[in-house]
């Protein structure tokens, strides 16, 4: 069996270690380093690579994908970009295609793309032969700084988001920050909303540095990306070091996600691939959470204003997309995947709320509380209106 030791010839790549429970995952990153990444993957000794990407990336980064597959026989699996990749039908088709191509237990599944190809690839790697090696090559900021910093691998059900999944550790993560240069501005900015979540919910001491990055108006410089990556790893490790499966302290990483996922689903149902990016939806979800906390007397005016400052600084318009109705969002929220962590209550869902920046409210040891659908509706109606001034925090 090929060794799982990280490639020793990565002198041109910087490295960090992601610690999640008992798992330690090497994370390598650099600039213009796709050739080194290809050599590193080949050094694991795979007999075949299964490269999972989407149609858009397969065209945009054809040269990079060709370089990754140059030294090892490869099968490239693509699908139209978007949430339609995170379905049982796509998963089944990809698994069958990989098996028909003759993969074995020595093969490696490589995700090349954002969070959607990454989740699909992660679930594939876990299912094939009860587990083959997985390597992530993220091409978006949201994947590089959030989704690959987790063991969670999931696809959507017909009912809601991320209902079907598992936990599976990658062998390694490799990031070439030059791949971010092709991201549209809105995707680059929205990808940093997960980092904003980390600052607001976990490490408010990092807010000043995040403000400096926002003020520079150039998120893609290597120095800014290095700090954002380091800060993301530090925040994740702080809450997952003793919570491998993110079912305890790691649940704080769900800040903004209950409503954010619902907004994302509703907008993509209405507008397809033109729907808002994941990070933008999470940012709107954080504003809703902030308004609920403020209405409960927990967050101050200034703390809610900080939410608006950071979210709008990242280029997010603090208003629901025109195609999204409050009633539709509430219907999706009722089937959120955090159901079951707390005892069921009628007309209420488990929710991450802050008592102060960096201080989630707890139920027992869990950073979750019951929030009524009425509270959620009232907060949604604030951002369903035209742009809300940062100081207009009443609900």
Per-residue model confidence (pLDDT) at position 225: 80
Taking the complete model, does pTM exceed 0.75, yes or no?
yes
| Residues 337, 286 contacting (CB under 8 angstroms) | no
CATH class of segment(s) 14-181: alpha beta
Q: What residues have CB less than 8 Å from 177, skipping those under 6 apart? A: 29, 30, 31, 220, 222, 225
Q: What residues have CB less than 8 Å from 361, skipping those under 6 apart? A: 293, 298, 353, 354, 355, 367, 369
Cβ neighbours around 387 below 10 Å, total? 11
User: In the annotation, is 254 catalytic?
Assistant: yes
pLDDT mean across residues, the chain: 90
Cβ neighbours around 187 below 10 Å, total? 18
pLDDT values of the chain reduced to their tens digit, one per residue, 395 residues: 333 334 344 447 888 888 888 889 999 988 899 999 999 999 999 999 999 999 999 999 999 999 999 999 999 999 999 889 999 999 999 999 999 999 999 999 999 999 999 999 999 999 999 999 999 999 998 899 889 989 999 999 988 889 999 999 999 999 998 898 888 877 787 778 989 999 999 999 999 999 999 998 787 777 888 788 888 888 988 898 888 888 899 999 999 999 999 999 999 999 987 899 889 999 999 999 999 999 999 999 999 999 999 999 999 999 999 999 999 999 999 888 787 889 999 999 999 999 999 999 999 999 999 999 999 999 999 998 754 444 444 33
What is the rounded distance in angstroms from the CA atom of residue 288 to the CA atom of residue 285? 5
Helix (H, G, I), strand (E, B) or coil at 27: strand
- Six-digit token string for 335: 């089937």
The DSSP output letter for 6 is P
Question: What is the chain's alpha carbon radius of gyration, rounded to the nearest angstrom?
Answer: 20
In the beta sheet, which residues pair with residue 26? 17
Write the pLDDT tens digit of every residue in 23-63.
899 999 888 999 999 999 999 999 999 999 999 999 999 99
Per-residue model confidence (pLDDT) at position 94: 98
Annotate 333-372 with DSSP letters as a single string. Answer: HTT-TTTTSS---TTEEEE--EEETTEE--BTTBS-EEEE
Same CATH fold assignment for domains 14-181 and 194-219+247-385 = no
Per-residue model confidence (pLDDT) at position 9: 45
- Six-digit token string for 155: 């696809």
Q: E strands along the chain, which residues?
A: 14-20, 23-30, 49-52, 74-77, 108-113, 133-138, 152-155, 164-167, 172-176, 348-351, 354-356, 359-360, 369-372
- Six-digit token string for 312: 């709008």
Per-residue model confidence (pLDDT) at position 285: 98
What is the rounded distance in angstroms from the CA atom of residue 42 to the CA atom of residue 29? 17
184: exposed, middle or buried (Cβ count in 10 Å: 0-12, 13-18, 19+): exposed
| Topology classification of domain 194-219+247-385 | Dehydroquinate synthase-like, alpha domain (1.20.1090)
Q: Residue 340 — left, alpha, or beta (φ > 0 → left; ψ -120 to 50 → alpha)?
A: left
Sketch the domain layout of the chain as residue ranges.
Answer: 14-181, 194-219+247-385
Per-residue model confidence (pLDDT) at position 395: 36
Active-site residue among 48, 152, 161, 197?
152
What is the rounded distance in angstroms from the CA atom of residue 153 to the CA atom of residue 164? 9
Per-residue model confidence (pLDDT) at position 65: 98
Active-site residue among 254, 264, 303, 375?
254
From the list 100, 97, 174, the residue with the least C-alpha distance to 134 is 174
Per-residue model confidence (pLDDT) at position 131: 98
Per-residue model confidence (pLDDT) at position 242: 87
- Six-digit token string for 134: 């997985």
**Cα end-to-end span (Å), the chain:** 59
User: In the annotation, is 86 catalytic?
Assistant: no
Per-residue model confidence (pLDDT) at position 379: 97
């Amino acid at each position: 069996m090929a060794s799982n030791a990280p490639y020793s010839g990565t002198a041109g790549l910087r490295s960090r270690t992601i610690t999640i429970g008992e798992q330690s995952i090497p994370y390598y990153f650099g600039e213009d380093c796709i050739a080194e990444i290809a050599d590193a993957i080949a050094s694991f000794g795979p007999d075949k690579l299964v490269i999972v990407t989407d149609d858009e990336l397969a065209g945009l980064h054809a040269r990079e994908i060709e370089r990754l597959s140059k030294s090892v026989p490869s099968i490239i699996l693509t699908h139209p970009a978007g949430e339609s990749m995170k379905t049982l039908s796509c998963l089944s088709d990809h698994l069958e295609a990989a098996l028909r191509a003759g993969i074995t237990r020595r093969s490696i599944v490589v995700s090349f793309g954002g969070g959607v190809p990454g989740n699909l690839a992660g679930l594939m790697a876990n299912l094939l032969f009860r587990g083959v090696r997985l390597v992530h090559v993220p091409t978006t900021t949201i994947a590089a700084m959030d989704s690959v910093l987790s063991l969670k691998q999931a696809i959507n059900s017909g009912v809601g988001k991320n209902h079907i999944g598992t936990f599976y550790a990658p062998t390694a993560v490799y990031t070439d920050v030059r791949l971010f240069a092709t991201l549209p501005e809105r995707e680059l900015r929205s990808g940093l909303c997960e980092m904003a979540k980390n600052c607001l919910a976990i490490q408010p001491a990092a807010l000043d540095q995040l403000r400096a990055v926002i003020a520079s108006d150039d998120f893609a410089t290597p120095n800014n990306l290095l700090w954002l990556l380091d800060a993301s790893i530090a925040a994740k490790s702080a809450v997952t070091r003793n919570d491998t499966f993110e079912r305890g302290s790691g649940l704080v990483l769900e800040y903004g996600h209950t409503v954010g996922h619902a907004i994302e689903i509703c907008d993509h149902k209405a507008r397809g691939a033109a729907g808002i990016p994941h990070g933008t939806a999470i940012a709107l979800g954080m504003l809703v959470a902030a308004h609920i906390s403020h209405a409960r007397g927990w967050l101050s005016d200034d703390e809610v204003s900080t939410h608006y400052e950071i979210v709008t600084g990242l280029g997010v318009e603090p208003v629901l997309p025109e195609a999204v109705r409050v009633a539709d969002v509430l219907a999706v929220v009722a089937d959120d995947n955090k159901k079951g962590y707390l005892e069921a209550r009628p007309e209420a869902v488990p929710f991450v709320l802050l008592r102060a920046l960096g201080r989630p409210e707890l139920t027992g040891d869990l950073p979750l509380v019951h929030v009524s659908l009425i509270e959620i509706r009232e907060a949604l109606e604030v951002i369903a209106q035209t742009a809300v001034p940062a100081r207009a925090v009443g609900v």
